[in-house]
Amino acid sequence: MFTLPLGDRAQLSPLEPWQAPEFLAHIDRARATVDPWIPWASLSTDLTSATATLQGYADRRATDSARVYGIRLDGTLVGGVMFTHFDAALGVCEVGCWLEPAGKGQGLVTRACRALIDWAFTQRGMSRVEWRAASGNAPSIAVARRLGMSRDGVLRRHSVHRGERRDIEVWSVLAEEWPAAGDTSEVAVRAELDRLMGVFVGAFTNTGGRRPDLGVIRDVFVPEGRIIANVGDESVIHGLDGFITPRQKMLTDGTLTEFSEWEVAERTEVFGSIAHRFSEYRKSGYHNGEWFEGGGHKTTQFLRTPGGWRMSSLAWDDVPAKP
């Protein structure tokens, strides 16, 4: 059975019916966090049903219509990724994921999903990879953003889970949008820098009832990154946690509503393993119930690390908001 490394401590490998006892023990640990969003956990409540779940995927793998893989951290199963639907003739597939608490915060799902998507495009010639998530499932939506997917729209009241009818967001990435593995061309690097900036800016959006997840900022920055507000007479320099925590609160406690921010212009320069981007941006929303519009400029520095390109610092200066 093959394994694919996901870093020094983690591996990705197929999940098979004979692994049902290990799978069931993992699902029991993951049940509280997985079950509120997807029926995955409720399908495996004892050894018989856990075996049936994995056998179902084995049968569908034999017909080239689905696959499931486990993520192991230090040898322990902590989550997984899957092709929930795979249509080679149509060239369209759907990727999904789940994770228990012990595996969170380490980028395991994102790296595993990248491996699946890369295989779908480069080995199987797929045209489109989809991602579907309940509108309130912020961690799942954050993964779609980190993968560089575009939000196609919302299937309103599409699905029922535990008696509750839910909206389902549809995200996707196309073959021509997916960077080739190992591509270090300037075009590929600029596309990756665009993606990182898109994840950063998109993290703040809470329009249309969307719940922002500023935790994704940790995925696009190096751990020691700095974010600097150079507005007014005195600079305010934040570490990642010091920047994220108060803004997550403002964007979820009603202080800032229907808020979004977007780039309107940028100039990017790449020099080997470092890069710089100068951006103009706009923003709008309600602050304590009052509509405002504003904008400003950002300067962002990037580094190429063993794990890929990351932001190392970002500084911004606002222009006065317009009521």
Residues with Cβ within 8 Å of residue 164, at least 6 apart in sequence: none
**CATH numeric code, 4-177:** 3.40.630.30
Residue 105's pLDDT band (cuts 50, 70, 90): low
157: its two tokens:
């009241």
Tabulate helix, strand, coil % of the chain (nearest 5): 35, 40, 25
| pLDDT score for 119 | 94
pTM exceeding the 0.85 threshold for the entire prediction: no
pLDDT digits (tens, 9 = 90+) for 205-252: 898 877 788 988 998 999 999 999 998 778 999 999 999 999 999 999
From first CA to last CA, the distance across the chain in angstroms is: 61
270-288 pLDDT per residue, tens: 998 999 999 999 999 999 9
What residue ranges do the domains of the chain occupy? 4-177, 186-322
Does domain 186-322 correspond to CATH entry 3.10.450.50?
yes
